[in-house]
Amino acid sequence: MTAVQKTRPGADTAGRRGAPPPEPAPAGPSPGRQHGRRRRRTAAVTPWLFLAAPLALLLMFTYLPVADMIGYGFTDWDGTSPDRSYVGADNYTDLATRPQLFEVFLVSGFYLAASFVQIAVALYFATVLSFGTRLRNLFKGLLFFPYLVNGVAVGFVFLYFFQPDGTLDTLLRLVGVEGEHLWLGDPDLANPSLAGVSVWRFTGLNMVLFLGAIQSIPPHLYEAAQLDGANRWQQFRHIIAPGIKPVISLSFILAVSGSLAVFEIPYIMTGGANGTETFVIQTVKLAFQFDKVGLASASAVVLLVLILLITWIQRRLVPEERVELT
């Protein structure tokens, strides 16, 4: 969300607070004035006091570890030994000379394709639920629920779901599709199955984002459109879609970076076996199975740079624009 709602008001206040008092103080300050200045000084500190807690957490749990990680990337640390030596850019040369390490990005393609499906489905449900559907709050809850379930639990539930002759096969039999499928065992099905789980899990989140944006569209626009004889599709096409464009483009950015960094679901369900290994799983294995924390840190840095780069390109292609709805 932060990318969309540029923190304009905050920046404004900070600017004003930082500026010196507008009028020069005359000689021989009265006690009243001094009191006022002190109050103004306290007021200048207040926002920073509020910011202190989140900033401290952000520094401690995001920027410091990242800085450490970048540091490890230049060492040959094995993860436990108390000493490590500086190896310069060796880890990066190692990565660059082993293209097979980047083949796993092909797996990300499945998740990227799935995230388009996910955005489409979420957009559909968000639109349908934004019109006065009966039991809409119940459906909202049902659709959002998968996102609240712990990833490990999701993994285990879907292991049973995908077992041969398990839940999915039984369901398919009800609609006349016979036979046992190796949903995770068949290498051609394994990645689509896992990507499907990810769609199931994250559609609700996308839907809630879209729903929130849709609700900020003034209702009189629909009324006017209805008076002009616009049907539901036309309302979606010409009011909703342009109205929530920033959120949709944000979703695509998140989808791309998310599919490059898939980890949880494949790690729990297959551990990266059977051709489902992603770049992050590979990195974790380098660090904790083969004790190459230095190399793993370097590849994490590469992933970070890659995601930043792709996001930047995306922003250049689809620049952010303010949408005025009145």
Partner 1 sequence: MRRKSTALVVATMVAATACSGGSGGGSGEIAAPPSDPAKVSGEITVLTNRSDQLADGTLKKYAEEFGKVYPGVKVKFEGLTDYEGETKIRMNTENYGDVLLIPNSLSRKQYPTFFAPLGKAGDLSAKFDYTDHATVDGQVYGLANIGVANGFVYNKAVWAKAGITDWPATPAQFVADLEKIRAKTAAVPYYTNYKDGWPLTNWTNAIGSPTCDPGSYDSLARTAEPWSRGSDLHTIDKLLYTVVDEKLTESDPTTTNWEDSKAQMGTGKIASMWLGSWAIGQIRAAAEAAGKDPDDIGFMPFPARKHGKFCSVLRPDYQYAVNVHSDKKTAARAWIDWYITKSGQAAAEGSISSVKGAPLPDTLKPFSDNDVTLIPQHQKNVTEVNAVDKASEIGITVQDYRQKLVDVARGAADGDMDSYFDELNGKWSEAQQTLGG
Binding site for partner 1 (CB under 8 A): 64, 68, 78-82, 159, 162-164, 166, 180, 182, 184-187, 190, 270-275, 285-286, 288-292
- Minimum CB–partner distance for residue 170 and partner 1 (Å): 14
User: Please, which residue, 48 or 290, has the CB nearer to partner 1?
Assistant: 290
- Of 283, 252, 263, the C-alpha closest to 102 is 283
Q: How many CA atoms lie within 13 A of 249 on its CB side?
A: 20
Q: Minimum distance between the CB of residue 220 and partner 1, rounded to whole angstroms?
A: 54
Q: What DSSP character marks residue 313?
A: H
Nearer to partner 1, 145 or 288 (CB): 288
Burial class of 270 by CB neighbour count within 10 A (0 to 12, 13 to 18, 19+): buried
Nearer Cβ to partner 1, position 42 or 62? 62
In this structure, what token pair is assigned to residue 272?
């990266």
Buried b (16+ CB within 10 A) or exposed e, 212-248: ebbeebeeebbeebeeeebeeeebbeebbeebbebbb
CA dist., res. 17 & res. 159, Å (int): 56
CB of 208 to partner 1, least distance (A): 32
Q: Which is nearer to partner 1, 29 or 187 (CB)?
A: 187
**In this complex, which beta carbon is closest to partner 1, that of residue 4 or of residue 64?**
64
CB of 95 to partner 1, least distance (A): 13
CB of 103 to partner 1, least distance (A): 13
Can you name the residues that pair with 86 across neighbouring β-strands?
75
Based on the number of CB atoms within 10 Å of its own CB, is 30 exposed (0-12), middle (13-18) or buried (19 or more)?
A: exposed
